[in-house]
A and B are shown apart, each in its own frame.
Chain A
Amino acid sequence: MSIISQLSKSLPKNIIISGEENTRPFECDGLSVYKQKPLAVVLPNEISQIKKVLEICRKNKTPVVTRGAGTGLSGGAMPIKDSVVLGLSKLTKVISINPQEQTAIVEPGVRNIAISEAADEYGLYYAPDPSSQIACTIGGNVAENAGGVHCLKYGLTVQNIESIKIMTIDGDELVFSRNDDGLGLLALMTGSEGLLGIITEITVKLTKKPELAKLVMAGFDSVRDCADSVAGIIRHGIIPAGLEMMDEFAIQASEEFAKPGYPLGSKALLLCELDGSEESVIPDVDTVVSLLSKASSIRVSKSEEERLLLWKGRKAAFPAVGRISPDYYCMDGTIPKRHLADVLEKINALSKHYSLRVANVFHAGDGNLHPLILYDAGVPGELEKTEEFGNEILKLCIEVGGSITGEHGVGVEKLDAMCFQYSDAELDVFHQIKAAFDPQSLLNPGKAVPSLHRCAELGNMHVHHGNLPHPELERF
């Protein structure tokens, strides 16, 4: 009996999708350059059905790819050949909200923004805000350890969850909590990209909504001046709620698209949001303004409308770039902030070398770069050239002591780049951790951690915390 018949026999028919055409919407996630159709997609509307799906897949040794809303950007939820996609987007119950404890218990398919909407009446919200927050699910956020623009002050997903329920590939349930005595299994599971277990319930922390938020916008004549100002603000003891930078090209594209009133001609733009009580925000704004002596223009939001308008340009940066190029590739690396100006200079040099334009938007507070490489998939070889350029950027990130991914995950996209960041012995630890939870390797196999064989074929360009083999060689 085929796996589809087995699934149909034990589960309601209306939750199973199969066939070439019907499974097409699930053939990729937000990284649409990689596509693969699964055998079937199951969309449980009750948690208990997950156990049944796992049982059948286990019996048939069929890989299971867990999926939230499919908004991921690294191919983590892209189906594997002959796999079953376990889509949890219909499990959308907010089970309970506890305003005293400032927690909410939710099913994995609840959208990120829906948690904040449900908590709004208590003056609370869920702090991590990935840019896909209107669509992405909390289960996917936990699986990817999603970030956003407010991480510097409020943390990533891992700091904003209290506990999770998981189901192992064997169908056993476990609870991992912040209060556990023993190993940090809650943290291990967060960001494990669907390779260790299925997240079936999440207790999130809720944060009190700030009394006041103000945005300071500043234009600069040089990237270095802007980067120095970022360091100056933090050195002064101010932790902004959001601290974003854009380069000249990104400023221009966003201004043309969203018309927020950005200073055209500036080489760099800084958006610095301060939030909290009125007594703290007002003096902090004055301090920040005084620290921006190198800025060529400064504007402070005078109303909530103005604050949102200034943010709109930043939030629209991706579609704005998308408008001026047939395709764009969004990279995601992190670096220690002190190397920012140098890294941007090198990215611009690489841009000339590859003849591909690049716009840079940057979570400046936490060192998370998002270079957007503009290309045309219709031109033969251009995607490959773009990927090569992207890998060079990631190598740069590691050379200065950063990471190949800050918040998008490894998925299938960054398997090669993982070989630059980790040694064989370190990668082997990852493989063994996977085996400890999933010895038959049925949960999202082949994602997140490259095989040692793959790295060997790449020539083992392992860059160890800035110590590159043969540092005397020019790399571009």
Chain B
Amino acid sequence: MQTIGELQKKVRNASQLRITNSVDESSDELLNMKSYSGVVEYFPEELVITVKAGTLIRDISQTLRKKNQALPFFIEDDEKTIGSLYATAGSDLSDSVLGIQIINGKGDLLNFGGQVMKNVAGYDVSRLLVGSMGRLAVITQISFKVFPEKMAQERRVKIEKKNDHSPLRKQIEKKLKDVFDPYGVFV
């Protein structure tokens, strides 16, 4: 089990790092998040769960099911980690994100959003990074709004993503990458 401090150190020492959730190996160029796992906090009456990014979706669902609650977004494969789904998902998942903890390319530990449903302090970084493919920051922890099982079911609609190739959008995305990862560590 890695600690946050160890993850930060690894980012600081790396010149290039690929974040992975799917394999078990680890190397100087590979940051394996799968062992950074577990439910951090879960308050059923708040409809909020906070999990470490390497937690398997199956395990999160199991915890929630005990209280008749569920994650309210499309899940194709619950053997994946929640971090890998966050990295590739779209607005269906981001609708349920309340907050994140990340390590940026400089190795700083940062928090955005929180564990409350309404929070408009600062730009919405915790939803901005949904779908960022692990190229902007290491997502270490995510808080989600959950729903009673039946309502969660109704919300599980797959979103067909469309690629906008406009040069201006690309330019903005590049600038935003530089904000989080100025040295280009995450590849």
**Does A pair with B?**
yes
B111–A367 contact, CB under 8 A?
A: no
B148 located at the interface, meaning its Cβ lies under 8 Å from any Cβ of chain A in the complex = yes
A152 located at the interface, meaning its Cβ lies under 8 Å from any Cβ of chain B in the complex = yes
What separation, in Å, do the CA atoms of A448 and B122 have in the docked complex? 7
Q: List the A side residues contacting B116 at CB < 8 Å.
A: 334-336, 366-367, 401-403, 406
CB distance from B98 to the nearest CB of A (A): 10
B91 located at the interface, meaning its Cβ lies under 8 Å from any Cβ of chain A in the complex = yes
Q: Which residue of A lies closest to B48 (CB)?
A: A336
User: Among residues 75 to 132 in chain B, which have CB atoms less than 8 Å away from a CB atom of chain A?
Assistant: 90-91, 94-95, 104, 108, 110-112, 114-125, 127-132
What separation, in Å, do the CA atoms of A336 and B169 have in the docked complex? 36
Q: Are A421 and B121 CB-contacts (below 8 A) given A180-B162, A465-B111?
A: yes
B175 located at the interface, meaning its Cβ lies under 8 Å from any Cβ of chain A in the complex = yes
What separation, in Å, do the CA atoms of A159 and B104 have in the docked complex? 27
B156 located at the interface, meaning its Cβ lies under 8 Å from any Cβ of chain A in the complex = no
Q: Which residue of A lies closest to B114 (CB)?
A: A403
User: Among residues 47 to 78 in chain B, which have CB atoms less than 8 Å away from a CB atom of chain A?
Assistant: 47-48, 67-69
- Of B1-9, B14-22, B25-33, B38-46, the segment with at least 4 beta carbons within 8 Å of chain A is B38-46
A311 located at the interface, meaning its Cβ lies under 8 Å from any Cβ of chain B in the complex = no
Q: Which residue of A lies closest to B122 (CB)?
A: A430
What separation, in Å, do the CA atoms of A448 and B120 have in the docked complex? 10
User: Among residues 142 to 194 in chain A, which have CB atoms less than 8 Å away from a CB atom of chain B?
Assistant: 144-145, 147, 151-152, 155-156, 158-159, 168, 172, 174-175, 177-188, 190-192
Q: Are A234 and B117 CB-contacts (below 8 A) given A181-B161, A182-B131, A426-B111?
A: no
A395 located at the interface, meaning its Cβ lies under 8 Å from any Cβ of chain B in the complex = no
Q: How large is the interface on A (under 10, 10 to 19, 20 to 34, 35 or more residues)?
A: 35 or more
User: Among residues 214 to 232 in chain A, which have CB atoms less than 8 Å away from a CB atom of chain B?
Assistant: 230-232
- Of A79-87, A432-440, A468-476, the segment with at least 4 beta carbons within 8 Å of chain B is A432-440
Q: List the B side residues contacting A178 at CB < 8 Å.
A: 90-91, 159
B119–A432 contact, CB under 8 A?
A: no
Q: List the A side residues contacting B121 at CB < 8 Å.
A: 403-405, 410, 414, 417-418, 421-422
Number of chain B residues whose Cβ lies closer than 8 Å to a Cβ of chain A? 58
What separation, in Å, do the CA atoms of A117 and B151 have in the docked complex? 27
What separation, in Å, do the CA atoms of A156 and B96 have in the docked complex? 11
A237–B122 contact, CB under 8 A?
A: no
A239–B118 contact, CB under 8 A?
A: no
B117–A180 contact, CB under 8 A?
A: no
A235 located at the interface, meaning its Cβ lies under 8 Å from any Cβ of chain B in the complex = yes
A184–B128 contact, CB under 8 A?
A: yes
What separation, in Å, do the CA atoms of A237 and B152 have in the docked complex? 11
Q: Which residue of B lies closest to A449 (CB)?
A: B122
What separation, in Å, do the CA atoms of A437 and B173 have in the docked complex? 10
Q: Which of the listed residues B45, B112, B117, B120 has the most CB atoms from chain A within 10 Å of its own CB?
A: B120
Q: List the B side residues contacting A406 at CB < 8 Å.
A: 116, 118-120
Q: List the B side residues contacting A191 at CB < 8 Å.
A: 120, 123-124
CB distance from B119 to the nearest CB of A (A): 4
What separation, in Å, do the CA atoms of A274 and B157 have in the docked complex? 24
Q: List the A side residues contacting B48 at CB < 8 Å.
A: 336
What separation, in Å, do the CA atoms of A422 and B126 have in the docked complex? 14
CB distance from B70 to the nearest CB of A (A): 11
Q: Are A151 and B90 CB-contacts (below 8 A) given A184-B130, A425-B108?
A: no
Q: Which of the listed residues B118, B168, B180 has the most CB atoms from chain A within 10 Å of its own CB?
A: B118
A152–B120 contact, CB under 8 A?
A: no
B164–A180 contact, CB under 8 A?
A: yes
Residue of A172, A188, A336, A427 near B127 (CB, 8 A) is A188
What separation, in Å, do the CA atoms of A426 and B132 have in the docked complex? 18
A337 located at the interface, meaning its Cβ lies under 8 Å from any Cβ of chain B in the complex = yes
B163–A174 contact, CB under 8 A?
A: no
What separation, in Å, do the CA atoms of A174 and B166 have in the docked complex? 9
A416 located at the interface, meaning its Cβ lies under 8 Å from any Cβ of chain B in the complex = no
Residue of A180, A433, A464 near B179 (CB, 8 A) is A433
B160 located at the interface, meaning its Cβ lies under 8 Å from any Cβ of chain A in the complex = yes
B110–A184 contact, CB under 8 A?
A: no
Q: List the A side residues contacting B45 at CB < 8 Å.
A: 230-232, 234-235, 337-338
Q: List the A side residues contacting B136 at CB < 8 Å.
A: 183
Residue of B90, B117, B148, B176 near A433 (CB, 8 A) is B176
B186 located at the interface, meaning its Cβ lies under 8 Å from any Cβ of chain A in the complex = no
B91–A187 contact, CB under 8 A?
A: yes
A407 located at the interface, meaning its Cβ lies under 8 Å from any Cβ of chain B in the complex = yes
A1 located at the interface, meaning its Cβ lies under 8 Å from any Cβ of chain B in the complex = no
What separation, in Å, do the CA atoms of A337 and B180 have in the docked complex? 32
Q: Are A432 and B179 CB-contacts (below 8 A) given A179-B160, A182-B131, A182-B169?
A: yes
Q: When each residue 440-453 of chain A gets 1 if its CB lies under 8 Å from chain B and 0 otherwise, what string results?
A: 00000000110000
B118–A368 contact, CB under 8 A?
A: yes
User: Among residues 126 to 153 in chain B, which have CB atoms less than 8 Å away from a CB atom of chain A?
Assistant: 127-132, 136, 147-151
User: Can you report 28 A-B residue pairs in the complex whose CB atoms are below 8 A from each other?
Assistant: A151-B117, A174-B166, A181-B131, A181-B162, A183-B129, A183-B176, A184-B131, A185-B173, A187-B91, A187-B127, A234-B47, A237-B148, A239-B151, A334-B117, A334-B118, A334-B119, A336-B48, A336-B116, A366-B116, A402-B116, A405-B121, A409-B120, A423-B110, A426-B122, A429-B125, A429-B179, A433-B123, A433-B176
Given A401-B115, A403-B116, A410-B122, 20 new contacts (CB under 8 A): A144-B120, A174-B166, A178-B90, A180-B90, A183-B131, A184-B124, A185-B169, A185-B172, A190-B124, A230-B45, A234-B47, A235-B45, A237-B69, A336-B116, A363-B118, A366-B117, A407-B118, A427-B122, A433-B125, A433-B176
Interface residues of B (CB under 8 A from A): 43-48, 67-69, 90-91, 94-95, 104, 108, 110-112, 114-125, 127-132, 136, 147-151, 159-164, 166, 168-169, 172-173, 175-176, 178-180
